[in-house]
Amino acid sequence: MSINAYGAHAGDRPLEPLQITRRAPGAHDVQIDIAFCGICHSDLHQVRGEWQGTQFPCVPGHEIVGRVAAVGAHVRDFALGDLVGVGCIVDSCKHCADCDDGLENYCAGMIGTYNFPTPDAPGWTLGGYSQQIVVHERYVLRIRHPEAQLAAVAPLLCAGITTYSPLRHWHAGPGKKVGVVGIGGLGHMGIKLAHAMGAHVVAFTTSESKREAARELGADDVVISRNAEELAAHARSFDLILNTVAAPHDLDALLALLKRDGSMVLVGAPATPHPSPNVFNLIMQRRTLAGSMIGGIPETQEMLDFCAAHGIVADIELVRAEQINAAYERMLKGEVKYRFVIDNATLGA
């Protein structure tokens, strides 16, 4: 089956219309008509070759929502027309300890939604900037939000789970002071989710224009992270800091804000390393510097259901396919509140 997609032929070339093929659904596969796909900063890192090993042509996109168009003979949990989502994972080994624990995201054989090896043409996975996708049923998520919210649900499939998982793992909740650094696609979801979990939330931003906006998302306080005085007011007070920043920056200034036994979790994945933190900033207060990658499939479903129950969706700006390159530039300038989502109907008939 040949379908329309949007992707790039090289890291220094813009994205453009492409034709790609999808496999016919196997016994355990779900074929999905993609309605919307979010634009994650990871898409930009990957398609521009900022991370190692991008295969071209590259079709990004791992914040996928749409409707079931066909199911394989053994699929029991999904039926034609169901509202579903696909996030960053389309396969894994299915038998290791990580898969058994529902942490497919940490399986050594995890297959990402784009740029991972597959028997399907062209030999690596192609993502959601496309009209359809075919995915093993294990990696398909059920969407319980009203259909009118579908476009704004798309970013939950990556930005939502990438912030939900560490917030849960490090016990964000009532009585906990949680910082969220970088108020972009991930960060704005981190604020909404930490607020809904009952934590006291402080947003850290480099953008003065987001000071009031972050409060509307649920932040109890907002700090301009380049202002040393504002930072100092929060010294040694945080249980958890979730750092979503997509560029290298000074981690010490943030580590100093953790209380004894506090943790800073890095989810931002800049193309070049952060300056090394001062080890004494960890030793002196028994602090932890950690990382976290998306989340497993059961936790992604839990996150979607939590968001449906709490009326949480992303704040989005819908774009047409031909606006993707311009959207990338605006994302780099922090000029989106807070996630671009592609209307996949604009990929053409």
Question: How many residues bind ligand NAP, per CB under 6 A?
Answer: 30
Angle formed by the axes of helices 159-169 and 185-196, nearest 10°: 40
DSSP for 124-150, please give it.
Answer: B---SSBSEEEEEGGG-EE--S-GGGH
Q: Does 44 bind Zn ion (CB under 5 A)?
A: no
| Residue 339: CB minimum distance to Zn ion, A | 10
State how far the alpha carbon of 140 is from the alpha carbons of 144, 231, 304, in Å: 13, 42, 12
Of 86 and 183, the one with the shorter C-beta distance to ligand NAP is 183
Cβ-contact 188, 315 below 8 angstroms? yes
Q: Does 186 bind ligand NAP (CB under 6 A)?
A: yes
| Residue 41: CB minimum distance to ligand NAP, A | 3
Cβ-contact 172, 178 below 8 angstroms? yes
Amino acid at 203: A
DSSP for 70-131, please give it.
Answer: EE-TT--S--TT-EEEE-SEEE--SSSHHHHTT-GGG-TT-EESSSSB-SSTTSB---SSBS
Of 148 and 228, the one with the shorter C-beta distance to ligand NAP is 228
Q: Does 331 bind Zn ion (CB under 5 A)?
A: no
| Binding-site member from 145, 176, 177, 210 for ligand NAP (CB under 6 A) | 210
Query: Which span sits near ligand NAP by CB under 6 A: 38-46, 110-118, 119-127, 253-261?
Result: 38-46
| Binding-site member from 4, 42, 46, 301 for Zn ion (CB under 5 A) | 42
Cβ-contact 316, 337 below 8 angstroms? no
Of 25 and 128, the one with the shorter C-beta distance to Zn ion is 128
Q: Does 341 bind Zn ion (CB under 5 A)?
A: no
Q: Which residue is nearest to ligand NAP (CB)?
A: 184
3-state secondary structure of 220: coil
| Residue 259: CB minimum distance to Zn ion, A | 30
Binding partner of 206, given Zn ion, ligand NAP, none, CB within 5-8 angstroms per partner class: ligand NAP
CA angle 44, 50, 52 (to 5 degrees): 120
Q: Does 292 bind Zn ion (CB under 5 A)?
A: no
Closest C-alpha among 111, 88, 87, 86 to residue 32: 86
| Binding-site member from 3, 20, 40, 44 for Zn ion (CB under 5 A) | 40
Residues 294-333 that bind ligand NAP (CB under 6 A): 294, 331
Binding partner of 288, given Zn ion, ligand NAP, none, CB within 5-8 angstroms per partner class: none
Of 294 and 308, the one with the shorter C-beta distance to ligand NAP is 294
Of 207 and 344, the one with the shorter C-beta distance to ligand NAP is 207
Cβ-contact 172, 327 below 8 angstroms? no
3-state secondary structure of 218: coil
Q: Write each residue from 267 to 296 as x if it is in contact with ligand NAP (CB under 6 A), else as -, in one continuous string.
A: xxxx----------------------xx--
Q: Where are the alpha helices (DSSP H) in the chain?
A: 41-47, 97-100, 150-153, 159-169, 185-196, 211-217, 228-232, 252-255, 280-283, 297-310, 324-332
Residues 133-172 that bind Zn ion (CB under 5 A): 158
DSSP annotation of 58 reads: B
Of 211 and 259, the one with the shorter C-beta distance to ligand NAP is 211
Residues within the interface to Zn ion (CB under 5 A): 40, 42, 158
Which spans of this chain sit near ligand NAP (rule: CB under 6 A)?
A: 40-42, 45, 158-159, 162, 182-187, 205-207, 210, 244-247, 249, 267-270, 293-294, 331, 334
